[in-house]
Structure 1
Amino acid sequence: MGTTESVPFSSDLPHFTNAEGARIYTKRWSPQGSIRAVVFICHGVHEHVERHNPLASILAEKGFLVVGHDHVGHGRSDGIRADCEDFNWYVRDTLQHVQQVKEELPDIPFFLFGYSMGGAVAILAALESSHLFSGAILVAPMIMPKASTMFSVKVWLLHLVSSLFPQLGVGTSDPNGISRDPEVVKASLEDPLNYHGNIKARWGACALAAMDEIQKRMEEVKFSYLLLHGTADRFVPHEGSEMFHAKTQSEDKTLKLYPDHYHRLFSEPKEYSDVVIADIISWLETHVE
């Protein structure tokens, strides 16, 4: 794996080493008292796990140990920025980290929290190792592409372009579509650990392959989940979540659509995000013994 554009990594940071030898930065938010359950965050593309600090801190106050890491090529972790040779690397690294935490806390319920690209990671991780988890919270998961706005080349050309020019920018994303809260948008734009460039060809091809796999395997899904999506999402169409929910075989499944909400549901203006966060906490509490 190349390290071009990789951020300098300090060896004293908490991390684990993945199968390619990349150092993956890890983060925890610990409750003051006993741990009711573990919530494992899978963050979205171009961001990093500490962008989830406000939500993670609230969950920690409620007694949940929140754990996550920066995906390879993101944040403080090694790797080419916002690039991906194989989407399964995200899934494999997630399962490696989950196993480490479960060895430490073998009797604690474990939940996945996947946002956007991380939603796709969470779905594929749960499909591969459902026995590790008590359920998943999927927020605007990347299930169906919005190819007309994501990529400047035709989808059928993307794989060819990605093999020849993997770092070529093939699409842009409007940061104003993240949230209706301008302070959230401003913080994202000013965060030096976020990636602020164009969507890269190879990552785009890997993302499309992951979405295709999820769509082919939706009927295999039997794990419990809470699925949340905003109807005004500019990045990931809510129709993908509706299709997923209709086809999964889970006995315990909930879909909530939030009218006019943008992509980052838990970072919308406070009067809206408070409702979303309350829904997340309520679902978790009903699934913790």
Structure 2
Amino acid sequence: MESVEVTENWYTTKDNQQLFTRTWKAVGQVKANLVMVHGFGEHSGRYLDLFKQFSARGIECYCWDQRGFGETAKKSKGQGNNQGWDKVLGDVDDAVLRHKKDNISLILMGHSMGGEIVLSYLANGDKYKGVAKVTAAISSAPLVRVVNAPPAPIFFALKNLAAPLLPWYPYTVGLDPKGISRDPQEVKRYKEDPLVNDTATLATLKSMLANGELVLNSLAAKITTPILVVHGTADPYNSYEAAKQAYERIGSTDKAFHTYEGCYHELHYELPEDKQRVTEDYLQWIESHE
């Protein structure tokens, strides 16, 4: 594989939030631009290997450490504070508008919490100008509903009592790293990553859970962008069934749902055979929408 150039920078938003960013330069002619929204507790650096493969096929990739995560959280000392769902979607809109180039397709991709964010963003085309500029999207293992959802009384307390009264209170989710992948080496890499952190504020957790329900119950029907949704049937974090239900309600006439039997949460870091199949499925979807 030809060498891929990866650049790291800091980007300052309109509200003066500094975001850590990575760009994987396309090898040769740029065939498509891709904007990536990472998942809960992770950061842009976890996509180094995947996007090197994309870049080698002429797809230029951009990802930022979201508010409350990765290097962005480290610099701002705001671990797990996404600063509100409007800020989250606003950052996506800004990234799309800055990376859309004339006569080059723009792919919006998100994984887990990022997959949920992509669905929520695409359903709000009346609010965000960038939605109309997205050529196609990919939502990987979207957080529509978590597998071990809190009981209704606890969810009610979180949403209506704890989060409003103590929005900045930190809560550690306690995700079992073994749910990332069936590949022990990937689990080890995840556990040893110093920027992986599953602590978030109550307000952030509330926004994730509440907006997942909104996607399922009302927003999915508003999505008209071509979209690929992918999910492993054995994902122990995010519900495969809820993601499939949300997909079925998506309004787009150009959509696909790929099931990966027995696979865990991070399909792009599953066992080698499955990982490569997933990567090729991503690339085929992107290249079919260039």
Could you state the TM-score of these two structures normalised by the residue count of structure 1? 0.88
Gap change, CA 1:153 and 1:267, over 3 Å in 2 = farther
**CA pair 109-218 structure 1, distance change in 2 beyond 3 A:** same
Counterpart AA for 2:56? E
Distance 2:151 2:61 in 1: 34
Q: Identity across aligned pairs (percent)?
A: 25
Match of 1:65 among 38, 51, 60: 60
Structure 1 distance, partners of 2:225, 2:8, is 34
Answer whether contact 1:153 1:170 (CA < 8 A) is retained.
Answer: no
The aligned residue for residue 140 of structure 1 is 141
- After superposition, the Cα gap between the structure-2 partners of 1:75 and 1:168, relative to the gap in structure 1 and judged at 3 Å, is closer
Whether the aligned pair in 1 keeps the contact of 2:33 and 2:61 (CA below 8 Å) is yes
Q: Which runs of 5+ in 2 are unaligned?
A: 1-6
Which residue is 2:116 aligned to?
Answer: 120
Aligned counterpart, 1:29: 24
Q: Secondary structure at the match of 2:71?
A: coil
Equivalent-residue separation in structure 1 for 2:190 and 2:243 (angstroms):
25
C-alpha distance 134-169 of structure 1, shift in aligned 2 (>3 A): same
Equivalent in 49, 59, 73 of residue 54 of structure 1: 49
Contact in 2 for aligned 1:39/1:110 (Cα 8 Å): yes
Task: Report the Cα offset of residue 209 of structure 1.
Answer: 2.2
**TM-superposed deviation, 1:147:** 4.5
- Greater alpha carbon shift after TM alignment, 165-174 vs 85-94: 165-174
Given the alignment of the two structures, is residue 207 of structure 1 paired with residue 208 of structure 2, yes or no? Answer: yes
Report if the CA contact (8 A) 2:93-2:131 is conserved: no
Aligned position for 1:286: 288
Which of 103, 109, 116 lines up with 1:107 in the alignment? 103
- For residues 119 and 275 of structure 1, what CA distance do their matches in structure 2 show? 19
2:90 paired with 1:89: no
Runs of 4+ aligned residues of structure 1 deviating over 4 Å after TM superposition are 150-153
1:32 is paired with a residue whose SS is coil
Question: Helix, strand or coil: the match of 2:257?
Answer: strand
1:2-28 CA-partner distances (Å, limit 9, x unpaired)? xxxxxxxxxx96122224321011111
One-letter identity of the residue aligned with 2:29: S
Shift of 1:261: 0.3
Contact kept, 8 Å, 2:80 with 2:199, in 1: the verdict is no
Bigger drift between 186-195 and 228-237 goes to 186-195
Q: Is the 8 A contact 2:109 2:139 kept in 1?
A: yes
Pair 1:75 & 2:73 matched: no
Alignment equivalent of 1:188, drawn from 187, 190, 193: 190
With 240-249 and 122-131 compared, the bigger mean Cα shift is at: 122-131
Q: How many residues align?
A: 273
The CA RMSD measured in Å over matched residues stands at: 2.0
Residue 239 of structure 2: aligned partner: 237
* Inter-partner Cα distance in structure 2 for 1:58 and 1:168: 36
| Contact 2:29–2:58, Cα closer than 8 Å, also in 1 | yes
Q: Secondary structure at the match of 1:154?
A: helix
What's the CA shift string for 1:216-235, capped at 9, x where partnerless?
A: 11111111011100000011
Q: Distance in 2 between matches of 1:243 and 1:257?
A: 13
Do the aligned residues in 2 keep the contact of 1:24 with 1:69 (CA within 8 Å)? yes
Matched residue of 1:111: which SS?
Answer: strand
Report the counterpart of residue 247 of structure 1 in structure 2.
Answer: 249
Q: Deviations over 1:159-211 (max 9, x none)?
A: 2112333324263211110111111111111111221x445422211112221
Give, in whole Å, the separation in 2 of the partners of 1:236 and 1:57: 26
